[in-house]
Amino acid sequence: MSKASFVVRRLLQLGVTFWAVGTVLFFLFRLMPGDPTAFVVSAQMTPEARQQVIESYGLNEPLYIQYVRFLENALTLNFGQSFHTNQPVREVIWTYLPNTLVLMLSAFVVAYILGIVLGVLTGWYRGSRFEKTTVVTALTARSLPTFYVGLIVLWLFGAGLGVIPMSGMGTAGQSYDSFWARIFTLDFLHHLVAPAAVLAFYYMGYPLLIMRSSMMEVLSQDFIDVCRAKGLSERAIMFKHAARNALLPIITAAAIALGYAVGGSVLIETVFGWPGLGREMVNAVLRRDFPVAQGTFMVLAATIIILNFIADLLYGYLDPRVTYD
């Protein structure tokens, strides 16, 4: 099969997956107990007013009509208006998604740089105490819930030493014209450090272990000895060969892991008061704000699906042995 038709077929599958996710989501929400208007109405509202609210959201219409409308809208990336705030869902997404992405991306960059370097070193110094400690630390980091580590970090460094801010993306009382104007300030960086570090600590284990096994594979091969015999620098050898081998699994793993990390961002966002998409999604689910919950969930799902797709393509691009089947 040719590369092009492989891509087309995968894209079609992608479309089907999106449709399935959207449909399942739509019906899950409609099955949910609890009145979506419960939060929109106030206790003092008259019953007529309450009915009017329900009608204005189209919630009194038959399910299939609501479903068809949902599909139509989804095709144009229009997820409707929040029941709660009347804000278009698209705007909600634009407000919160960048915050989540900037946090996750910075965490991932740090995690993967750190992971790769430590992976190379542990692979090289195989059997040393350094290797054992590092591997155990990485596994421990992976085993503790991020919110737990986050709270301890806040307690120690925030409340205790006062060196990191307790919450949010910036010092209170300051406003910025745009997202970009904000993220290049020192103040933002100061707020970013703790949550990003906690996440990086959590995610570095994976690249570390991949890199380490790749190193070990390379080291076990004979040609290393040959290279050594030729007097090449040890470090140059180990890095070049091991890195080349590990690059593919690391890149694809990073792409896939990033997708899931964005999906799981709610925990760290809650702990550090980070106004991100994950937190917004959970809030929307809890208050039955279907349009926002659907829209934000679809974005989280899309991040995963698209990053998986990219990982697939990269796999084919970077590894010529892969056939498109």
Partner 1 sequence: MATQDKSSIFADIDEGEVDQEDENVDRWRRNLRLWRETLAKQWRMLTDDLMVRLAMITIAFFMIVAVFAPFIAPRGPLTRQYEGDAGIIIADWVEPSFLSSESEYLLGTTAEGFDIFSQLVYGSRAALLVGLVAAVFTAGIGTLVGLTAGYYGGKIDDTLMRIVDFLYGMPLLPTVIILVALMGPSLWNILFAIIVLQWRSTARVIRSQALSLRERPFVKAAQVAGASDWHIISRHLAPNVLPLSFLYGAFAIAWAILAEAGVSFIGLGDPNTVSWGTMLQSSRAYSALDFGAWWWFIPPGICIGLVVISGFLIGRGYEEITNPELR
Partner 2 sequence: MTNKATTNRRSFLNKAGATAGLVGLTMTAGCFGAGDDDENGGANVEATDPDMLDEQLPTYQFLNNAQSYNPPRHDAINLMADQFGRIGLDMEVEVLEWGTLFNRVDVEYDYDFSLWHTFFTIDPVLELNSTMYSENTEPGQGNFAGYENPDADDLMDQYLEEPDADTRIDLVHDLQRTLMEDLPQMPVIDMPFLAVYNNEQVDNWEADLPHGFNSYWTMINLEMQGGEDTLKGYWPEALDTMNVLGHNDENKHTYNFVVIYDTLVRLDNEGEIDTDVSLATDYERVDATTMEYTIRDHTFHDGEPLTVEDIAFSYNYISENEVPVYSVQSNFIDEAEVVDDSTVRIHMPDDNPLGPFNLLVGTQIPILPEHRWADRDEPSQVNVEEPVGSGPLQFDYWDQGAELGLERFDDHFAPVDFEQRFWRIIPETSTVWENLRNGDLNYEPFGRIDRPLDENRDEDQISVQSVPATSFWHCTPNQRSDGLDDPEVRKAVFNAVPRSAIVDQILFGVPDPGFNVVTEAFGPLHTDDVTQYEEGVDIAIERLQDGGYGYDENGMLHFLVE
Bridge partners (DSSP) of residue 218 are none
Angle between helices 186-203 and 89-124 (to 10 degrees): 60
DSSP 34: S
Q: Which of residues 144-203 bind partner 1 (CB under 8 A)?
A: 144-145, 147-148, 151-152, 155, 159
Q: Which does 210 bind (CB under 5 to 8 A by kind): partner 2, partner 1, none?
A: partner 1
Distance from chain centroid for Cα 225: 42
Rounded to the nearest angstrom, the gap between the alpha carbon of residue 40 and the centroid of all alpha carbons in its chain is 30
Count residues near partner 2 (CB under 8 A): 52
The answer to whether residues 250 and 116 touch, using CB atoms and an 8 Å cutoff, is: yes
Q: Report the residue from 7, 14, 21, 53 that binds partner 2 according to the rule CB under 8 A.
A: 53
- Token pair in block for residue 98: 């960048």
Cβ proximity to partner 1: between 192 and 304 the closer is 304
Rounded CA-CA distance 253/245 in Å is: 14
Nearest to 102 by CA among 166, 185, 202: 185
Q: How far is the CB of 87 from partner 2 (least distance, A)?
A: 5
Name the binder of 217 from partner 1, partner 2, none, CB < 5-8 A by kind.
partner 1
Helices (H), 76-128: 89-124
Give the residue, chosen from 39, 67, 125, 188, that forms a contact with partner 2 under the rule CB under 8 A.
39
33 near partner 2, judged by CB under 8 A: yes
Closest CA to 314 of 251, 223, 262, 269: 251
In Å, how far are 85, 117, 126, 218 from 237, measured between CA atoms? Answer: 59, 15, 16, 9
Question: Cα torsion for 193, 199, 205, 206, to the nearest 10°?
Answer: -120
Encoded one letter per residue, x for contact with partner 1 by CB under 8 A and - for no contact, window 282-301 reads: x--xx------x---x--xx
* Residue 238 interacts with partner 1 (CB under 8 A): yes or no: no
Candidate list 241, 279, 299, 307; residue touching partner 2; CB under 8 A:
279
Write the DSSP symbol of residue 60: T
> Under the rule (CB under 8 A), what is the footprint of partner 2?
33-36, 38-50, 52-53, 56, 81-82, 84-88, 91-92, 95-96, 99, 154, 158-159, 166-170, 172-173, 175, 270, 273, 275, 279-280, 283, 286-288
Binding site for partner 1 (CB under 8 A): 13, 16-18, 20-21, 24-25, 28-29, 31-33, 139-140, 142-145, 147-148, 151-152, 155, 159, 210, 213, 216-217, 220, 249, 253, 259-260, 262-264, 266-267, 270, 278, 281-282, 285-286, 293, 297, 300-301, 303-305, 308
